[in-house]
Amino acid sequence: MKFSKLINIIGLKSDAVKDFSVVGLAYDSRKVVNNFIFFAIKGYKDDGNKYVSKAIENGAKAIITENEFVNELTKIVSEDINIIGVDDVRKVMAQMGFAFYKNPSEKIKLIGVTGTNGKTTITYLLKHIFESAGFKCGLVGTIDYVTGDKKLESKLTTPDSIEINEMLKEMVYAGFDYCFMEVSSIALVLHRVYGQKFSAGVFTNLTSEHLDLHKNMQNYFEAKKILFDRLDSSQYAISNLDDSYGNDIIKGTKGKKVYYSMNSETDYRAVNEKISMDGISFEIIYKDKIYKINSTLTGRFNIYNILAAVALAHSLNINFETIQKAIANFSAVNGRFNKIELPNKAYAVIDYSHTSDSLKNAVESAIEIRNMSTYKGRVITIFGCGGNKDRTKRPVMGETATSLSDYSIITSDNPRFEEPIEIIKEILVGVRTIDNFEVNPNREEAIKRGIEISKKGDIILICGKGHETYQEVKGVKSHFDDKEMVEKYFHLAK
């Protein structure tokens, strides 16, 4: 596509364009080759304008930057390079990506799932349901990206706009019918999904997270709401009415509103739930009819995840029989409440719960499962908090784990550039109990300790890392897998 045509499509104005055939787009100068457009993004940690010379050296023929940098760059860049100033580089990058990759989300049904917790399980569950119905489906989320014949390890929950459009184009080329995408609040604020045509948006819940970026819950809420505000009357807005934000998040949307819940009269309501370590069963009431759901997933929070998937799938004309069968043979997503029975008949449960709310859900689910089991063991929670992230949740998680669990071991997660013991000190600020916890910054030792002290009927919750296979300390990532640690010390459960 000619550069002149591309900027015309998105409505950019530029004097004396030096035209060329655009080969690709990049915001990383290292990915630039001949006839690329380079987007000089001034980010939170770095400034793309520092790498303009490198991008041009690698072959960039056009630079898109903020208006304030145009004059400065014009002085150091040769006349045969296009320099265009805009108000928001990220937004223009999303628009150009959409146009350059030929509007892919207009050729595939794109489903966005947003909220603090549950996004990963819901997107995987939806993919499974729709594939069971005979559709070809892609996925973009926290664990991996599935496009065409490829499965790539995820780097961001929601990648940047260039990658999104490229992935969607691959899905279209592969003949995919649907793409299920986790849409983070950061992605919405930074315009990563700007201009995408979503066929539906699903809201899970909203609790404190990413406040290092959003500053307060109102801003966090407004970020999530962007997804639903952009829906039109042909699209669906699916929301959890039991969440305090569930009604307001889709207020004002033009999309067709569909609600699910356990506690309120809604379009899809779960009743008569039964929860054990083996799984969950419940009934869904829809238009005065009752549909039985059985799943090997466990925990009350997974009832909400299933409800969200059912509401979306049925709204998009997947019949209940197909949905029921698909849910029954769906296995837990890697790192999401994965259970391992130990030799002493205790269970280790590996879960990604790294927010205050998801930790609370995990502990409460373990308690509920324990209370319904024959052996009334203890809930032993092993957890930490990530470094260089939202610090407000640390004391809350400390209080949650120690007040609800029978015993807790406070340890490290990914300390990144912070000192593990300093993170733990902030966790301890919220602790109100005295003798039902211990501290061990070494995560391997903490997991070993939890297994050693376990007895028949105990549930050892290992929280925070889930599917992750690394631990990041001082910016260095080293291999670390909670599941491997359980397997290593499996024999100590006597």
Could you please report the per-residue DSSP string of 276-326? ETTEEEEEEEETTEEEEEEES--SHHHHHHHHHHHHHHHHTT--HHHHHHH
CATH 3.40.50.10420 fits 3-99, yes or no: no
Q: What is the pLDDT of residue 295?
A: 98
Give pTM, 2 decimals. Answer: 0.90
Give alpha helix (H) positions in 330-440: 356-372, 393-404, 420-428
- Over the range 56-95, which residues count as b (16 or more CB within 10 Å of their CB) and which as e? bebebbbbbbbeebeeebeeebeeebbbbbbeebbbbbbb
Q: In whole angstroms, what is the distance from residue 310 CA to residue 258 CA?
A: 11
Domain boundaries, the chain: 3-99, 102-328, 338-492
- Quick check: helix, strand or coil at residue 353? coil
Q: In whole angstroms, what is the distance from residue 142 CA to residue 398 CA?
A: 25
- The encoded tokens of residue 316 equal 């998009």
The number of residues in the chain equals: 494
Q: What is the pLDDT of residue 149?
A: 74
- Quick check: helix, strand or coil at residue 344? coil
CATH of domain 102-328: 3.40.1190.10
Alpha carbon separation from 298 to 278, 378, 444 (Å, rounded): 7, 18, 26
Q: In whole angstroms, what is the distance from residue 128 CA to residue 312 CA?
A: 13
Estimate to the nearest angstrom the gap between the alpha carbon of 337 and the chain centroid: 16
Neighbours of 434 (CB within 10 A): 7
| Sign of the CA dihedral with 161 first, then 253, 206, and 328 last | negative
On the question of a common fold for 3-99 and 338-492, the answer reads no
In the numeric block, the tokens 């903020």 are attached to: 66
Q: What is the pLDDT of residue 78?
A: 87
CATH of domain 338-492: 3.90.190.20
**pLDDT tens-place values along the chain, 494 residues long:** 999 999 999 998 877 899 999 999 999 999 999 999 999 998 877 899 999 999 999 999 999 999 999 998 988 888 889 999 999 999 999 999 999 999 999 999 999 999 989 999 999 999 999 999 999 999 999 888 988 777 777 777 788 999 999 999 999 999 999 999 999 998 999 999 999 999 999 999 998 665 566 568 889 899 999 999 999 999 999 999 999 999 999 999 999 999 999 999 999 999 999 999 999 999 999 999 999 999 999 999 999 999 999 999 999 999 999 999 999 999 999 999 999 999 999 999 999 998 888 899 999 999 999 998 888 899 999 999 999 888 989 999 999 999 999 999 999 999 999 999 999 999 999 999 999 999 999 999 999 999 999 999 999 999 999 999 999 999 899 999 999 999 999 999 99
Q: What is the pLDDT of residue 373?
A: 86
Q: What is the pLDDT of residue 255?
A: 98
